[in-house]
Chains A and B, each alone.
Chain A
């Protein structure tokens, strides 16, 4: 046990060193200083309150998506469609807002309805993937991926079609909603404490759902061995559907936050790639809810901190994406190597 824990530590240090090493090599190859780059990224994300608030803005949807993915991963499902579920959440939220644009209802109620609408929108979109999987035999990876494209197309159609600005169709999105439709933000910052609170509550609920409930246990049983779980009397396909619905609702919630707390309108790239990024976070934390917060925060910080690279060092900010991707690859690779190593040790 101790030995394995030690080897785990060793291998993870290797993974981390390799990732930073690869990125540093890339930087050196273009005559840029790696220390300078990492320092700028750190300063750009934690250097001051305003920047940290931007990190939190990215952290909220990322954490929500990760929370949702933990549920589907527990059930052994690869919900690639999470990106589209975020988009549909945003579309549904926008739809509710538009519906109540002229109404006299209190704004707080409208915001609540819009957010709930977003959750339902995301859940319905996830249900499509689930139905395709359970009843159509379509692998959730392909079903989800296809539905992601449909979701993007639907956004573009709405922005350039029925929901376009008067006389003008613009990539900058639909007409912004009135200020009272926005979740309250902290003074002079762009982060909404409400959004942050909702995201943290969501991950806590998911944590307890998976760790402390019978439901979570059954879900994991389905994930570990579908056939065995079925033979043990767990209604397997229902549990697969539940996990899709929960994940979709959380992804939809992320989309709702993007509309209600960040952009205040529907824009073409409303999901901002947080669905795919959430998949990376979920893989990196090895599907354990407790680590979602620090790792999602780290990924959000990379996203925001990397904006400094083009401004200060004239480097491309996609470097953060390279680091994120390389990190996940090496973490998986090294973990695989470690398992092999352990097995070999046991055999001899």
Chain B
């Protein structure tokens, strides 16, 4: 009796699926979304070749496209490229092990290619292996691996992959400014840093924030002792069950005398927490990260946000892919010092927040001007966290020394490597 239960159910599945597959496309739905699957329309394409097909580029985002942080900065850059060139973006967000179990980024990249993408952007360090695999398996598809170093000839992991490009902004400057703003505004001299996971990138950025904080702490003649502590949550954002909750980490900082917390993760969840605690009577300030409008979450406690502006570099790379002048290269773009927040020229920028006092704005502007004039905080003497000399007196760090910083710096609290 019950034996046929499954048989019928499964047969019906097939039936219904076949029906929905054969059925005509929904009449009222805009058909534009699914146009031109590249595979099965060579004949019509040949006939209607005249209007130039827009160049389609795909983007794999590690977090939600509207995360108010790292992924949104990429997504907005995609919109920027669309606007500037008429190219068309397709994207898939939440590409991470927790949100899309059973898939791999290279597999998902192929889905984008199946939808017509001729170039795919992998937006996270987490997708580095997958981007290499994908680029090698699909030599006719252009690949941009953001934040990676695979095709840096001077890098430690150099591989020759002609269809792959690395793009990254010199966020070290943004973090120095962030650290400066934090040190200027802290009344306790204790600064917390919300770290994601420990790798080369996060070490050098955390260290840059520390260098900026230290410089401005001295510059402003603060009487407190500077304390700079990083707590790593384990991933770029909170994944329940897998990472520490960054909101809890922020709260721990704020309630133990760290009155400023700098976000180093893919979003700025320290902001709402700072506002909540401030409202409850614990004055708390926050520095956001990644996304130009990140301060909007809680402007009254926000000291500012160092942000990525991927647009100009993506524009150049996508244009080069479209016109055939593509060149595999490692791009590490700095800010446009003549106009730090210029949308069309500066790879990184810094937006000052409402919580920064007028007096501190003046000092911060002075610091930014010094950086623009050539001040390099990556100048010795600098020791690593365990006391090992890293840069001798007066020695300026090379790009490699900064990129591959092996430990945190002397004076910083927190883990230098995962245990």
In the complex, chain B residues 116-133 whose Cβ is within 8 Å of any chain A Cβ: 125-130
Chain B residue, CB-CB nearest to A149 = B241
In the complex, chain A residues 15-67 whose Cβ is within 8 Å of any chain B Cβ: 15-16, 20, 32-36, 38-40, 42-44, 48, 50-51, 54, 57-58
Chain B residue, CB-CB nearest to A291 = B6
Say yes or no: B127 contacts A33, CB within 8 Å: no
A64 to B2, CA, bound (A): 24
Q: A269: which B residues are within 8 A, CB to CB?
A: 97-98, 101
Q: B12: which A residues are within 8 A, CB to CB?
A: 12-13, 16
A235 at interface by CB-CB < 8 Å: no
Q: A156: which B residues are within 8 A, CB to CB?
A: 234, 242
Say yes or no: B8 contacts A9, CB within 8 Å: yes
Say yes or no: A284 contacts B234, CB within 8 Å: no
Say yes or no: B111 contacts A38, CB within 8 Å: no
B377 at interface by CB-CB < 8 Å: no
Q: B107: which A residues are within 8 A, CB to CB?
A: 54, 190
**Beta-carbon contacts of A169-213 to B below 8 Å, as 1s and 0s?**
111110010000000000000100000000000000000000000
A272 at interface by CB-CB < 8 Å: yes
Contacts known (A167-B406, A167-B417, A307-B103); A291 close to B111, Cβ less than 8 A: no
Q: B8: which A residues are within 8 A, CB to CB?
A: 8-9, 12-13
Say yes or no: B111 contacts A311, CB within 8 Å: yes
CB distance from B241 to the nearest CB of A (A): 7
A343 at interface by CB-CB < 8 Å: no
A267 at interface by CB-CB < 8 Å: yes
Stretch at the interface among B17-25, B221-229, B360-368: B17-25
Say yes or no: A9 contacts B4, CB within 8 Å: yes
B90 at interface by CB-CB < 8 Å: yes
Contacts known (A39-B25, A307-B111); A285 close to B197, Cβ less than 8 A: no
Chain A residue, CB-CB nearest to B201 = A168
CB distance from A321 to the nearest CB of B (A): 11
In the complex, chain B residues 76-114 whose Cβ is within 8 Å of any chain A Cβ: 90-94, 96-98, 100-104, 107-108, 110-112, 114
Q: Which of A36, A171, A176, A272 contacts B101 (CB 8 A)?
A: A272
B9 at interface by CB-CB < 8 Å: yes
A312 at interface by CB-CB < 8 Å: yes
Q: A-B contact count, CB below 8 Å?
A: 168
Number of interface residues of B (CB under 8 A): 65
Say yes or no: B5 contacts A164, CB within 8 Å: no
Say yes or no: B9 contacts A12, CB within 8 Å: yes
**Beta-carbon contacts of B10-32 to A below 8 Å, as 1s and 0s?**
10111011101101011011000
Q: B130: which A residues are within 8 A, CB to CB?
A: 172
CB distance from A285 to the nearest CB of B (A): 4
Q: A9: which B residues are within 8 A, CB to CB?
A: 4, 8
Say yes or no: A313 contacts B33, CB within 8 Å: yes
Q: Which of B18, B91, B199 contacts A167 (CB 8 A)?
A: B199
Q: Which of B28, B115, B234, B419 contacts A312 (CB 8 A)?
A: B115
Say yes or no: A286 contacts B20, CB within 8 Å: no
Say yes or no: B6 contacts A295, CB within 8 Å: yes
CB distance from B219 to the nearest CB of A (A): 33
Say yes or no: B104 contacts A39, CB within 8 Å: no
Q: B197: which A residues are within 8 A, CB to CB?
A: 168-171
Say yes or no: B129 contacts A171, CB within 8 Å: no
Chain A: interface size category: 35 or more
B256 at interface by CB-CB < 8 Å: no
Say yes or no: A33 contacts B418, CB within 8 Å: no
CB distance from A245 to the nearest CB of B (A): 26
Q: A286: which B residues are within 8 A, CB to CB?
A: 2, 5-6
Contacts known (A12-B9, A311-B90, A312-B34); A48 close to B242, Cβ less than 8 A: no
A160 at interface by CB-CB < 8 Å: yes
Q: Which of B10, B104, B112, B241 contacts A298 (CB 8 A)?
A: B10
Contacts known (A35-B26, A172-B126); A12 close to B96, Cβ less than 8 A: no
B198 at interface by CB-CB < 8 Å: yes
Q: A325: which B residues are within 8 A, CB to CB?
A: none
CB distance from B295 to the nearest CB of A (A): 27
Chain A residue, CB-CB nearest to B94 = A310
A252 to B18, CA, bound (A): 35
Say yes or no: B2 contacts A335, CB within 8 Å: yes
**Beta-carbon contacts of A273-307 to B below 8 Å, as 1s and 0s?**
11000000000111010110011001000010001
Say yes or no: B406 contacts A8, CB within 8 Å: no
Contacts known (A286-B5, A303-B102); A170 close to B126, Cβ less than 8 A: yes
Q: Which of B13, B102, B114, B234 contacts A273 (CB 8 A)?
A: B102
Q: A99: which B residues are within 8 A, CB to CB?
A: none
B1 at interface by CB-CB < 8 Å: yes
A230 at interface by CB-CB < 8 Å: no
A347 to B103, CA, bound (A): 52
A326 to B234, CA, bound (A): 34
Q: A225: which B residues are within 8 A, CB to CB?
A: none
A331 at interface by CB-CB < 8 Å: yes
CB distance from A235 to the nearest CB of B (A): 29
Q: A152: which B residues are within 8 A, CB to CB?
A: 241-242
Chain A residue, CB-CB nearest to B11 = A294
A161 at interface by CB-CB < 8 Å: yes
Contacts known (A16-B12, A171-B234); A311 close to B5, Cβ less than 8 A: no
Q: Which of B7, B20, B34, B241 contacts A35 (CB 8 A)?
A: B20
Q: Which of A16, A20, A161, A173 contacts B418 (CB 8 A)?
A: A161
A268 at interface by CB-CB < 8 Å: yes
Contacts known (A36-B25, A167-B406, A268-B242); A12 close to B102, Cβ less than 8 A: no
Q: A58: which B residues are within 8 A, CB to CB?
A: 102
Instruction: Given A8-B4, A291-B6, A307-B92, output 14 extra A-B contacts at Cβ < 8 Å.
Output: A9-B4, A12-B12, A33-B28, A36-B25, A36-B26, A42-B17, A43-B21, A50-B110, A160-B418, A272-B101, A290-B6, A310-B94, A311-B111, A331-B9
Name 18 A/B residue pairs within 8 A (Cβ), A-sorted. A13-B8, A35-B20, A36-B26, A48-B39, A50-B110, A50-B114, A58-B102, A167-B417, A169-B418, A171-B126, A172-B127, A172-B129, A172-B130, A310-B92, A311-B91, A314-B33, A317-B100, A331-B5
Minimum-distance CB pairs A-B, first 8? A169-B418, A291-B6, A38-B20, A33-B26, A272-B102, A272-B101, A33-B29, A42-B21
